[in-house]
Amino acid sequence: MINFDIILKNLKLIAILLLVIVAVWFYKDYQYQKSENIRQTENNSQLRKADSLKFASQILSLNEVKDYLEYENKDLKNNLAKDGIKTNRIKEIVSTKYTFKDTIIKKYISGPFVDSTKCLTIKGFVDSSGVTITDRQFTNKTDAVAYWERNQWKFLGIKTRFLGKKQMTAKVYDQCGESKTIKIEKKE
């Protein structure tokens, strides 16, 4: 004959075990969602600061790196495919964008000319058929400096940085034009 007490005890044990498994699963999911929220908040903060600092650092998941390469930097994706570099092997991307516009306009009658600024040199000649450029050179040096500073806060109505929270920041120095740097790291 079947003993219902043993079956009932086993069912209670199985139910308790399932409850523990579900609780652990929910707790781990909560921890993951919390860390994802912190990461995405920091990424958004970096994008907001990118306009003033001219530097942004982001931590992206593998799918987000694929989306970045697909929609924001297709040239890099094509170069990676051409060189046989797989997306899942990428650890870090540092992308620097240089913007320089030469606004010097000179009129030449005919013959050779050289138009140069601090960073851009254009050589060529003018004849009856038009302007022919023989050499165009652009040189720029960009220095990015990362440093920490303290947050400003108020103490008795006085703004101070004394004992403020330390925060990392970056400064970009360009010889010519304007550069914007975005650093992307793959989330581990």
pLDDT in tens, 141-166: 666 656 667 777 777 777 777 777 77
Task: Dig out the tokens for 70 from the structure.
Answer: 């697909």
- In single-letter form, the type of residue at position 164 comes to G
Give DSSP secondary structure letters for 36-51.
Answer: HHHHHHHHHHHHHHHH
Task: Dig out the tokens for 58 from the structure.
Answer: 């982001």
pTM: 0.53
Tell me which residue has tokens 């320089």. 100
The closest alpha carbon to 171, from 49, 48, 58, 47, belongs to: 49
Per-domain residue ranges for the chain? 4-95+177-186, 101-139
Angstrom CA distances, 176 to 12, 138, 181, stand at 74, 9, 15
Stretch 75-91: mean pLDDT: 78
Please write the tens of the pLDDT for every residue from 84-141.
Answer: 777 877 777 777 776 665 555 556 567 888 888 877 888 888 877 777 788 888 877 6
